[in-house]
């Protein structure tokens, strides 16, 4: 087969997007979607002139509409493509979640259809000018997932941010993902470690959540010559804010997770 003609269409469509970043995790449930939405909020608050878009391509469990507080919004398709939903003036979102008839619909599509949907999203959303497009991908290290990553890399994605917890299983999967990115020539911006630490809101003492593998992400970075972008602590207020679709960065300025997020954004 020759080159996929959709690649040129996607490159064209995304030509006004400066940084196209995919957020990857090997394993599900490590906080990939949470990190994506937090980065969206944090980057868009750096400066009102910075425009950020989030593409929720997590076809199996699109959670961004809920986390960003825009569940149930309608998206429109005009002559220039799908218009994303605006969370704030400079933060927009397109999600498969907007196209489901009910927010509880499970989308269990097989590989080709899933990847077809990602292609369609990439080629048909009218983002306008963006500084950052953050792409929340489905988790996994299956062949179909890897082929989606390869496709994104061919379509001109700038780089990947990898999210992991320090658990052995998460680190193993993320290692596979990193090796695959290297194989297809997709640059890795760095690694975010999530939920490694809990800071008690009362006594401020710090507890490690997975003590057996503390430092696992740092070790992975050292071994594979990757940049550690920082660690987000486990924060029950963050989980609650995400469930409620609240703007965590604005509402909880004193949270240790927000401080950590600021350091991560400075590294990107």
List residues binding ligand ADP (CB under 6 A): 25, 28-34, 63, 139, 194-195, 232, 234-235, 238-239, 242, 257
Is 140 annotated as a binding-site member? no
Return d(Cα 84, Cα 55) in angstroms, integer: 9
CB of 239 to ligand ADP, least distance (A): 3
Calculate Rg over the CA atoms of the chain: 18
Quick one: 33 or 90, whose CB is closer to ligand ADP? 33
Is 30 annotated as a binding-site member? yes
Residue pair 159/188 in contact by the 8 Å Cβ criterion: yes
CB of 237 to ligand ADP, least distance (A): 8
Quick one: 34 or 123, whose CB is closer to ligand ADP? 34
Quick one: 30 or 249, whose CB is closer to ligand ADP? 30
Quick one: 92 or 164, whose CB is closer to ligand ADP? 164
Is 33 annotated as a binding-site member? yes
Return d(Cα 226, Cα 164) in angstroms, integer: 13
Residue pair 25/170 in contact by the 8 Å Cβ criterion: yes
> How many other CB atoms are there within 10 angstroms of residue 72's CB atom?
9
Is 113 annotated as a binding-site member? no
Is 203 annotated as a binding-site member? yes
- Contacts of 70 by beta carbon, 8 Å cutoff, 6+ apart: 85, 87, 93, 245
Residues annotated as binding site? 26-33, 200, 203
Residues annotated as binding site for [4Fe-4S] cluster? 200, 203
């Amino acid at each position: 087969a020759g080159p996929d003609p959709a690649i040129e269409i996607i490159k064209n469509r995304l030509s006004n997007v400066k940084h196209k970043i995919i957020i990857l995790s090997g394993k599900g449930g490590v906080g990939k979607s949470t990190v994506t939405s937090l980065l969206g909020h944090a980057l868009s608050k750096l400066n009102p002139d910075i425009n950020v878009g989030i593409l929720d391509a997590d076809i199996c469990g699109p959670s961004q509409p809920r986390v960003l507080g825009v569940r149930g919004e309608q998206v429109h398709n005009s002559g220039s493509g799908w218009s994303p939903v605006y969370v704030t003036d400079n933060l927009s979102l397109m999600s498969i979640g907007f196209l489901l008839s009910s927010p509880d619909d499970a989308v269990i599509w097989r590989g080709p259809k899933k990847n077809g949907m990602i292609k369609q999203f990439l080629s048909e959303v009218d983002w306008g000018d963006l500084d950052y497009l953050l792409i929340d991908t489905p988790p996994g290290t299956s062949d179909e997932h890897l082929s989606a990553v390869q496709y994104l890399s061919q379509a001109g994605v700038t780089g990947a941010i990898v999210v992991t917890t320090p658990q052995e299983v998460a680190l193993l999967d993320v290692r596979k993902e990193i090796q695959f990115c290297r194989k297809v020539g997709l640059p890795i911006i760095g690694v975010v470690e999530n939920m490694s630490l809990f800071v008690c809101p009362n006594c401020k003492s710090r507890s490690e959540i997975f003590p057996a593998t503390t430092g696992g992400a740092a070790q992975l970075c050292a071994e594979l010559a990757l940049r550690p972008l920082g660690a987000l602590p486990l924060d029950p207020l963050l989980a609650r804010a995400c469930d409620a679709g609240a703007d965590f960065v604005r509402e909880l300025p004193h949270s240790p997770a927000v401080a950590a997020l600021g350091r991560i954004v400075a590294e990107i």
